[in-house]
């Protein structure tokens, strides 16, 4: 069985999560579910990135220890992922013992082999973003990410020799054109960060202590990226007594990350792996942001609602559908409640819900819910059956390219074609003439097959809705193409998505 290791970034538990965080996790979940459906042995990992000065400060502000503080937020995050039906196989916390030990061993190993050395750090630091910047990276003298003040800091620190690996990295990019996607992000890395020359990376700090201690120099804690990025292998037992998962799943098939952290995943991470003599991940995909009113949704900007409010109002699959359908994966996209409602009304209620409701109701009305194929052939039905049979490969083509919105569009094209098939075959007119009974039953049968195949292919994207449709169809058949020999004994129709009345 082919393996597939997929990860999301590990999130900072510095406040509650917003719809932007859900975006990446929903997409990763849909890909993971799709791969499982296609027979891959999937390992899907998400988690939390819990160390650092910012978290230490927040915890102090509310009178908690950092661990108490993160424990509560992590529990809340896990609850949110459960509500969103996120099917992760592993949730890693950087405060896990297994992770801590792995980071410590890596740090020591890199130090022993001369890739980490002690020096002095002088730099401009943005506390909320936990990022160091050079003078030239600042925008109007402020942090280029959040626009806030930066402070000059100077302290003893350990450094990791990124510069030593620069040529190898560029060579790797050249030889592996699929490593960074979309391609524009690769050019950005080369032009903005690599060509100007890589500076060695600060990998320890002494000015705070909420971090993983450096075993051989206890004033130091491991500083952010060496700790965070290592999550992808510490969870697999790298350098531990049991590295069976490492042998099975590494290298990762895909790291899905937001565009602002592509540089850490495509420069620092590959170099850490090279220094450790490990294989590099097959792909790093940098997605865009969900934007609200023209700006990034962010807790620090305060322009977000708890995602549970949307889920409570519209249902989990409506939120999943929006995240997967609205924005081409890779680009930025606007999020607004109006556009969420437009998707629900336009696609989920009108196209999908209506089709299922109409078809199942007609099945009950004309045949008491018991329908078999009467094989009455005509050109219209032949073409329709061809379309049903093409869907699986069309979806798979799009998923291979991570064009998730287009994969969904293919499914909705078939649903639209099904509604059109109803309009063109006019079952209510066929029902008026007893001679057309077999024809009518064949039409309904074909529609049920179309709904069945669509519902199965929707499963990775909208798991609850898919399940509800399959239960209304009352079928066990898992075939992703038209089968001429099924028979249906339908359950009662139930509304899948209510139209939202926009007042
Ligand atoms: N802890 C680091 C990642 C370490 S991975 C080894 C981090 N955490 S984060 O919580 O700030 O962000 C996690 C992810 O959420 C990032 O990929 C980021 O791009 C994504 N998003 C945060 N806001 C977002 C939107 N508004 N829209 C889409 N994704 C966004 O970075």
187-235 pLDDT, tens digit per residue, is: 999 999 999 999 999 999 998 899 999 999 999 999 989 999 999 999 9
Q: Tell me the pLDDT band of 293, cut-offs 50, 70 and 90.
A: confident
Q: Band of the pLDDT at 298, cuts 50, 70, 90?
A: low
Q: What is the pLDDT of residue 208?
A: 86
8-state DSSP, 480: S
The pLDDT mean for the chain works out to 94
Report the pLDDT value the prediction gives residue 503, as an integer from 0 to 100: 73
Q: How wide is the angle at C-alpha 279 spanned by C-alphas 274 and 283, nearest 5°?
A: 105
Atom 17 of ligand 1, nearest CA residue: 258
Residue 257 CA: nearest ligand 1 atom is 17
Least confident of 40-54, 133-147, 230-244, 378-392: 133-147
Whether the pLDDT of residue 15 is over 70: the answer is no
Give the residue whose CA is nearest to atom 18 of ligand 1: 258
Helix ranges, 84-165 (H) = 97-112
Position 502 pLDDT exceeds 90? no
**Does the structure show a pLDDT above 70 at 303?**
no
Q: Give 434's contacts (C-beta < 8 A, 6+ positions apart).
A: none
How many Å from the N-terminal Cα to the C-terminal Cα in the chain?
Answer: 52
- Residue 43 bridge partners (DSSP): 5
Helix (H) or strand (E) holding 455, with range, is helix 437-458
| pLDDT of res. 302 | 63
- The verdict on domain 337-489 having CATH code 3.40.630.30 is no
Ligand 1 center to residue 20 CA distance, Å? 8
Average pLDDT of the residues in 310-321: 96
Least confident of 113-117, 193-197, 249-253: 193-197
User: How many other CB atoms are found less than 10 A from the CB of residue 218?
Assistant: 10
The answer to whether the CB of 443 falls within 8 A of the CB of 430 is yes
**DSSP 3-state of 299:** coil
Q: Are 260 and 9 in contact (CB under 8 A)?
A: no
Nearest ligand 1 atom to alpha carbon 265 = 6
The greatest distance separating any two alpha carbons of the chain, rounded to the nearest whole angstrom, comes to 90
**Going by CA atoms, what residue is nearest to atom 9 of ligand 1?**
11
d(CA 250, CA 236): 8
Given pLDDT bands bounded at 50, 70 and 90, which one contains residue 300? low
Q: Of 45, 91, 224, 258, which is best to mutate to test ligand 1, by the most ligand atoms within 8 angstroms of its C-beta?
A: 258
Could you give the 3-state DSSP secondary structure of residue 478? coil
Find the mean pLDDT for residues 268-280: 98
Q: Taking the model in full, what pTM does it have?
A: 0.94
- Residue to probe by mutation, ligand 1, list 6, 7, 9, most atoms within 8 Å of CB: 9
Contact status, residue 159 vs residue 203, Cβ threshold 8 Å:
yes
For residue 253, give the 3-state DSSP assignment.
Answer: coil
Among the listed ranges 38-42, 141-145, 261-265, 394-398, which one has the minimum average pLDDT value? 141-145
Statement: residue 326 has pLDDT above 90: yes
Percent of the chain at pLDDT > 90 equals 85
Which residues have CB under 8 Å from 112's CB, separation 6+? Answer: none
CA atoms of 73 and 287, how far apart (whole Å):
25
470 with 456: CB under 8 angstroms?
Answer: yes
Q: What is the pLDDT of residue 362?
A: 98
Write out pLDDT tens, residues 458-501.
Answer: 999 999 999 999 999 999 999 999 999 999 999 999 999 999 99
Alpha carbon of 393 to ligand 1 centroid (Å): 32
pLDDT at 364: 98
Those residues whose C-beta lies under 8 Å from the C-beta of residue 242, and which sit 6 or more positions away, are none
**Rounded Cα gap, residues 365 and 427, in angstroms:** 11
pLDDT at 128 over 90: no
Q: Which residues line ligand 1 (CB under 6 A)?
A: 9-12, 20-21, 23-24, 49, 228-229, 231, 257-258, 260-261, 289-290, 296-297
pLDDT number for residue 17: 81
How far apart CA 424 and CA 264 sit, in angstroms, is: 55
Confidence of residue 108 (pLDDT cuts 50, 70, 90): very high
pLDDT higher than 70, residue 178: yes
Nearest CA to ligand 1 atom 24: 20
pLDDT for residue 85 = 98
Distance CA 348, CA 222 (A): 48
């Amino acid at each position: 069985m082919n393996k597939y290791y997929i990860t999301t970034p590990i999130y900072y538990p510095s406040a509650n999560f917003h719809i932007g965080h859900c975006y990446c996790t929903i997409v990763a979940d849909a890909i993971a579910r799709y791969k499982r459906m296609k027979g891959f042995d999937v390992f899907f990992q998400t988690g939390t990135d819990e160390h650092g000065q910012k978290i230490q400060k927040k915890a102090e502000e509310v009178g908690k220890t950092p661990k108490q503080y993160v424990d509560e937020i992590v529990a809340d995050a896990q609850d949110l992922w459960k509500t969103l039906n996120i099917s992760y196989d592993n949730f890693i916390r950087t405060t896990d013992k297994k992770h801590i030990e792995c980071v410590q061993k890596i740090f020591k190993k890199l130090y022993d082999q001369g890739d980490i050395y002690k020096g002095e750090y002088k730099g401009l630091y943005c506390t909320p973003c936990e990022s160091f910047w050079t003078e030239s990276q600042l925008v109007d003298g402020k942090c280029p990410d959040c626009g806030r003040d930066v402070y000059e800091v100077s302290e003893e620190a350990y450094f990791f020799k990124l510069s030593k690996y620069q040529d190898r990295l560029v060579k790797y990019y050249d030889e592996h054109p699929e490593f960074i996607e979309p391609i524009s992000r690769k050019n950005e890395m080369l032009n903005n960060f690599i060509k100007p020359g890589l500076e060695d990376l600060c990998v320890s700090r002494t000015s705070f202590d909420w971090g993983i201690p450096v075993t051989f120099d206890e004033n130091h804690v491991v500083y952010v990226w060496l700790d965070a990025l290592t999550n992808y292998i510490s969870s697999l037992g790298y350098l531990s007594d049991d590295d069976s998962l490492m042998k099975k799943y590494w290298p990762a098939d895909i790291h899905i990350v937001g565009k602002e952290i592509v540089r850490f995943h495509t420069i620092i991470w590959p170099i850490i792996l090279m220094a450790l003599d490990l294989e590099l991940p097959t792909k790093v995909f940098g997605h865009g942001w969900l934007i609200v009113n023209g700006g990034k949704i962010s807790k620090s900007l305060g322009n977000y609602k708890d995602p549970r409010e949307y889920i409570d109002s519209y249902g989990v699959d409506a939120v999943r559908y929006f995240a997967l359908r609205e924005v081409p994966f890779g680009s930025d996209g606007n999020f607004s409640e109006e556009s969420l409602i437009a998707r629900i009304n336009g696609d989920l209620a009108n196209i999908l819900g209506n089709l299922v409701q109409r078809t199942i109701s007609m099945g009950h009305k004309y045949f008491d819910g018991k329908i078999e194929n009467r094989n009455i052939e005509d050109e219209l039905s032949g073409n329709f059956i061809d379309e049903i049979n093409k869907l699986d490969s069309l979806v798979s083509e799009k998923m291979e390219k991570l064009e998730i919105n287009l994969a969904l569009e293919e499914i909705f094209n078939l649903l639209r074609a099904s509604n059109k098939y109803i309009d063109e075959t006019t079952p209510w007119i066929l029902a008026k003439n007893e001679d057309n009974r077999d024809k009518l039953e064949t039409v309904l049968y074909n529609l049920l097959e179309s709904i069945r195949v669509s519902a199965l292919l929707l499963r990775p994207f909208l798991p609850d809705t898919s399940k509800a449709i399959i239960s209304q169809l009352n079928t066990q058949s898992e075939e992703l193409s038209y089968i001429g020999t099924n028979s249906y004994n339908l359950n009662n129709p139930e509304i899948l998505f209510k139209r939202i009345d926009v007042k």
